[in-house]
A and B are shown apart, each in its own frame.
Chain A
């Protein structure tokens, strides 16, 4: 009889990876909480979270289908292979809190665009003074690229957007791991044991001026599902 499974677990000696996530089926949690431990309500009331956050409206800019249902994986196009996130394992549409930041997560798994593949989009934002731009996303391989903050007074600052790989990879840039899915969707099958990674990352807004818009990198490896600006201390209260 042919054998296609590991001979025995004790025979496998996989050197532990030093990163926060060990790839492979053993790294995938049985249950994925909707909130990370540091976002529990007793640490910051939901009203406080909402008061300090301004969701960036990405809806007009979504241009990529990054998630699919297990029943129809063919329409996914997160990467050049047509891999996609399992929609069943992504956050529900609407408010999703991680890193004490309220994101507006898009509908997924419907065969329509659910994320922004970065192509230099110029995105106007609610005017305000902010400390951070938070993003929920992932990259097709590791990415470090420049985005531009445009301010109401005409000034422009460039900052680095850093996102780790979505394909069975550890977070390389110190992001918060939001999802390590139990499976990866391929165009013609669902692959167990290869996690798709979703990250929460942040970019500093250092200038003390009213922000007007964000220019994304012209980089097709960057994918953003949601973005939220965090007001400077004292604002929004």
Chain B
């Protein structure tokens, strides 16, 4: 193994491995994850695009999949595929260039995951070192039970090339792993978050929510998603409900960390209105819970859950509108 120092990890219970692996990269660059991951807040739903992966994130720029996650930062990213003849070569090159490659894996083959030899599911890991002589890589996985340490190369290869078959798991299996890895250039270091940068980001977020140019984005996209989810329940289309659970993870997590960031800034800057805005944004995250969980249970008998989905999608939209209005009020004191 190389002598690269241990990586710091960061986790919040609403986040997925997408945010937690990005946080590891941010920490390695000396950035505070919350103020980077929490700056963007938006909505985009692309029917038919949802893949059964823990790290699914809807984007209009699939050639740069992380850009939409860190919408206010100059990050660039690209999905790459391992060379079957030399699967570790690209990862070694990335490490040699000072990057931390993020690999897609199937938890079924990872001895430190609860799903080991139990459940297939698509997950992300950070690779920090490769020792081909000892047949080991060092990985970082901040999702509970947080792990940082050795993984055998044979296990990595099994996880990295797994067909991730759909057997007993409905939400994060069935999507081929195919030796994918994320090549991410954070484009940092970023300047510290100050009032001016936060104000600009909040205005941009609000403008994007209000925009009507993309019918799948912003409040218009949220309304369409809500209407279609209830309609799917009415027509007995469990597949749409199933996708809603997977899709909702990313947007729920984004709302949670955005709200926490606003409250953190409010404490530092003594801005009680901003703290209240942050709490309202967290309520959006919490309003996602029954939408996702009801969808998950409802996929089996969708028509039994129509009333619940009507109620929870209505409240979700109200929560977004209330939070946006409170953020707008808080801008006055920023």
Contacts and interface: CB of A to CB of B under 8 A. Distances in A.
Instruction: Say whether A and B bind each other.
Output: yes
A189 B152 contact: no
Contacts of A191: 114, 145
Contacts of A10: 6
Q: Which of B8, B142, B252, B286 has most chain A Cβ within 10 Å?
A: B286
Interface stretch (A36-44, A52-60, A88-96, A141-149): A141-149
Q: Bin the interface of chain A by size.
A: 35 or more
A6 interface: yes
Interface string A76-114: 000011000000000000000000000000000000000
Nearest to A162: B286
B308 interface: yes
Contact of B6 (A2, A12, A165): A12
Contacts of A170: 13
B210 interface: no
Nearest to A188: B118
Contacts of A220: 290, 293-294, 297, 308
Nearest to A145: B290
A144 B283 contact: yes
Interface stretch (A17-25, A123-131, A199-207, A227-235): A17-25
Nearest to A143: B289
Contacts of B226: none
Secondary structure at chain B's binding surface: helix, strand, loop or mixed? Answer: mixed
Nearest to B136: A3
A23 B292 contact: no
A178 B140 CA distance: 30
A50 interface: no
B11 A7 contact: no
A107 B87 CA distance: 53
Interface in A187-202: 187-189, 191, 193-194
A4 B9 contact: no
Given A7-B138, A11-B148, A193-B145, A80 B297 contact: yes
B203 interface: no
Contact of B150 (A4, A17, A24): A4
Determine the main DSSP class of A at the interface with B. loop
Given A140-B289, A193-B145, A13 B11 contact: no
A208 interface: no
Given A6-B148, A25-B145, A141-B293, A15 B9 contact: yes
A19 B171 CA distance: 29
A4 B152 contact: yes
Contacts of B112: 4
Interface in A160-189: 164-165, 167-170, 172, 184, 186-189
Nearest to A189: B118
B269 interface: no
Interface in B285-316: 285-287, 289-290, 292-294, 296-297, 307-308, 311-312
Interface in B118-167: 118-119, 135-136, 138, 142, 144-152, 154-155
Contact of B13 (A24, A81, A142, A194): A142
B14 interface: yes
Given A2-B135, A3-B136, A23-B146, A80 B293 contact: yes
Interface of B: 1, 6-14, 27, 111-112, 114, 118-119, 135-136, 138, 142, 144-152, 154-155, 168-169, 171, 245, 252, 256, 283, 285-287, 289-290, 292-294, 296-297, 307-308, 311-312
16 contacts: A3-B136, A4-B112, A5-B149, A6-B147, A12-B148, A15-B27, A24-B146, A80-B245, A80-B297, A141-B293, A142-B289, A143-B290, A164-B13, A168-B13, A186-B118, A220-B293
